[in-house]
Amino acid sequence: MSNFNKKCLLTYDYGEEKTSQIEALGYDIIVRREKNITYSEEFEEVDVLVCYNPFETLDISLMKSLKWIQLSSIGIDQLPSDKVLNQHITVTNNRGGYSVPMGEWIVLNILEMYKRRLNLYKKIFNKKWKIDTDVLELYGKTVGFIGTGSIAIEGAKRLQGFGVNIIGMNTDGRSIEYFDHCYSKDEFYDLLEKSDVLVITIPYTEATHHLISKKELSMMKENALIINVSRGSILDEKALINELKKGRLMGAALDVFEEEPLQKNSPLWDIENVFISPHNSWVSEMRNERRFNLIYDNLRRYAEGKPLLNVINIEKGY
């Protein structure tokens, strides 16, 4: 590793101690804040870019030496895919870095909806003592995950003690730990029809745009619950709003939206059985530590010539 010397641009300041750890691997570090960052001559020899989304102002096509982009996010929809493909740049993401808090968030939302916590909160705020006899049990229900990646796995793992049937959908129906059964993408409707709770954890691509729309919502069980922690555009919001207004579904817990921030005039704010959170499911006190650990591990692998973790297939979108 002593002969290794590459230039690395960080768009987040990880602090002197962590930056020194990266420098010890043989990297020449440039730290520049991501907001409004633009190309300058000092980026000419940058081999590695560690970032979230500088691409609105930073033209990576000018970075002729760039070989690898390490994203701090799981999603890659912010990437200028055409430039990445044209320049043959390797891209890795932070898959798994936020999965633990997101798995907890999924369980939280299921229980809050089933135990009608919003209704109880309203009573608390009004100092009203009245038992709610309409709360439900999660026991014996079927929880279906659209996508069986790291987020779904962490959610399924945390549901193990609740006595639920856990099913999932992936490309080929392959078996996944913590899932009782997995369906292929060709059996998607089977999963929809069986799920009491539907959790969206699949990556957003052109193929998954509005994957859940009017037809799919109409196929779901009466009194089913939808949770979306992936990307807003996988779920057709207009179709969801119409279905919720009919009162056929129990409700929806939405952490992501087609347009963020969610506009104040969105009907979703006024639908009583919708839990809205501001893209918050990934947050925990461990987020920076896990993110840095993955980034450092990949930077070490790159320096040692070893395969990188979480390499993205840009054409597939995940």
Same domain for 214 and 292? no
Could you list the residue range(s) of the whole structural domain that residue 157 is in?
Answer: 99-276
User: Which one, of 236, 224, 265, lies nearest residue 141 by Cα?
Assistant: 224
Render each residue's pLDDT in the chain as its tens digit; 318 residues. Answer: 457 899 999 999 999 999 999 999 999 999 999 999 999 999 999 999 999 999 999 999 999 999 999 999 999 999 999 999 999 999 999 999 999 999 999 999 999 999 999 999 999 999 999 999 999 999 999 999 999 999 999 999 999 999 999 999 999 999 999 999 999 999 999 999 999 999 999 999 999 999 999 999 999 999 999 999 999 999 999 999 999 999 999 999 999 999 999 999 999 999 999 999 999 999 999 999 999 999 999 999 999 999 999 999 999 889
Instruction: Answer yes or no: do 84 and 186 share one domain.
Output: no
Do 112 and 88 belong together in one domain? no
Regarding whether 126 and 68 lie in a shared domain, the answer is no
**Which residues have a Cβ under 8 Å from the Cβ of 209 and sit 6 or more positions away?**
233, 234
Q: Give the integer Cα–Cα distance in Å for 157 and 136.
A: 21
Note whether 193 and 234 are same-domain residues.
Answer: yes
- Tell me, what CATH number does 26's domain have? 3.40.50.720
Residue 231 sits in the same domain as residue 195: yes
Q: Which residue has the tokens 């440039």?
A: 30
In a domain, 318, yes or no: no
Please check whether residues 90 and 197 belong to one and the same domain.
no
Asked if residue 37 and residue 133 are part of one domain, the reply reads no
Predicted TM-score (pTM) of the model is 0.93
Q: 219 and 110 in one domain? A: yes
For the chain, what is the domain count? 2
Shared-domain flag, residues 135 and 205: yes
Pairing mode, strands 142-146 and 197-200:
parallel
Q: Cβ–Cβ contacts within 10 Å for residue 247, how many?
A: 11
